[in-house]
Structure 1
């Protein structure tokens, strides 16, 4: 594989359904995306770099490939590159937390679907960096999330303030009810009237 031509000491493993890749010997593992975790246990959580190129542009395919990626990912920092269609942009973000790069892959066969490269890390100047419009949208999303959290906190605080006012009002209503239900002879005004009658 090309990575080993650059540095033969870099281990690599190719997961592929097409058995023509068996020519790579022990570096080939048969893979069927319909069985996303049907892989050797030795591969579980073993790879710090994963490059994925799903065979189809369907939601089902990407969801299953995402399961395979989760199976392969080494704990800690793992660099993930995903080559798939523009139509998978939102799913790539939701399932794997990936963002599109400015670099746009092209096929010599002139396929009708536009393809994109997505990563879970900022490639900087490589691959054209993350797409700027995506960064703007992410910034707007973070802004709206912050605003929503502040609004929720304000609503929460106002709720408890209103609850406290309601408690005080209920206490005052109870006090007034008790005052209105006192026996007539206990009312100070009634004592005054009786004294006036006796004086007369």
Structure 2
């Protein structure tokens, strides 16, 4: 059984999608061992509690020093015997030490078709505002590996979402979010199969 740690900062609907994927049997051979939130008030922590998943808060409020925060994150990931790290609406940049320690085992979900509308400043509603302002006819969601850049890692899965006439930030965000949930579950399934194979080879 592979162990997943999910990093969150907010409401946690992508976390819920992974929980549902495991509980429904769509994702097999894995369990979420730990949820880490950068925000002590994130509803994600309540979701973890409801499903009896251990959770921790490691953020700027309780670890203002970046080095201490990074060490706390690495210690928590190691202690949880983490095989796969999922960034699910995680609003902090991971230190390179974490990326190096878990290279090829950290994935992120982003609400656009990378390389469009991504990078510094492109998160949450700002992505959808930019899409609508550009007049683009389509957008989408991407799951990708995390590297030292912002939204620059190799793409695992993408799916397009049409921009409809009369779309607002909220209506577009809601449709993209459904697609995020879908492809995140699919990407986790792919990652678990790949990591299980590698673990078996060791």
Query: What TM-score range do you get, normalising by the shorter chain?
Result: 0.3 to 0.5
Normalising by structure 2, what TM-score? 0.35
Greater C-alpha Rg: 1
Q: Which has the higher contact order (CA 8 A, sep 6+)?
A: 2
- Larger helix share, 1 or 2: 1
